[in-house]
A and B are shown apart, each in its own frame.
Chain A
């Protein structure tokens, strides 16, 4: 099994992690809503923009500190998706050279994309069409 001698996060640390996840994750969503309400952009445009923003902040080295602070609060919003794509590409490019640019995108996100396809298919098969 997995290594068990790593220290388990204590109760207070967990509670603090929930608070930061709530504050930062909520703030990202709230700001996206403000953009939606004040511009003519569609939700798809805002999601694309936020993903690109996450990728750019990753390149500038500014996204990892947010992840360190907020954990899932920075990972779960779609900007974290841009971060995961970019981090994978940078890691693989450092390891393999230019080939890594092409293999890295799905290093961390492949699991999620595959999961979305599998679950999408299953629920599409099971769903009864609305009339």
Chain B
């Protein structure tokens, strides 16, 4: 956070830091996220089409598709491949549900050393927890408005 009352040398220093800090390769990051995120969704679509060929409607196919993607994400995390994909693709690996699975499994693996109950058990949802909490809170409000207020 830039302080308002900076002395001259401090301002100079801040300028220098700004110059020397490596530029975020915004375009490269966008393309990498787009490609990898898109590819993961294509894999999801392949799985989804498979379930739909088995006779599921699109809506019914959603839950087993998500579970399959969660398994794929967990497997790649267990093999320590997913972290490398994440390093390359950023949000492209984090935003798909495989990334949700990655946060759960990698937290479980990392915190096992602190014990199964207080380590693995309590830290497993370190990042996935907030997603669940705020997803449910928002869904709750939206559903009340939609079903009971608007009708």
Contact = CB atoms under 8 A, between A and B. Distances in A.
Main SS at interface, chain A: helix
A68 B49 CA distance: 13
A51 B56 CA distance: 25
Given A101-B143, A112-B70, A115-B67, A29 B38 contact: yes
A73 B112 contact: no
A106 B109 CA distance: 25
Chain B: interface size category: 35 or more
B140 A76 contact: no
A3 B112 CA distance: 44
Contact of A25 (B64, B65, B96, B130): B96
Given A2-B56, A72-B44, A80-B97, A52 B105 contact: no
Interface residues of A, number: 84
Interface of B: 24, 26, 29-42, 44-49, 52-56, 58, 62-67, 69-71, 74-75, 77-78, 89-92, 94-101, 104-105, 107-109, 112-113, 120, 124, 127-128, 130-132, 134-136, 138-140, 142-148
20 contacts: A9-B49, A21-B44, A25-B37, A25-B44, A26-B35, A26-B92, A29-B37, A29-B91, A29-B95, A29-B96, A30-B91, A33-B33, A38-B26, A47-B127, A77-B95, A80-B62, A81-B66, A104-B143, A120-B109, A123-B77
Interface in A93-121: 93-94, 98, 100-101, 104-105, 108-109, 111-113, 115-117, 119-121
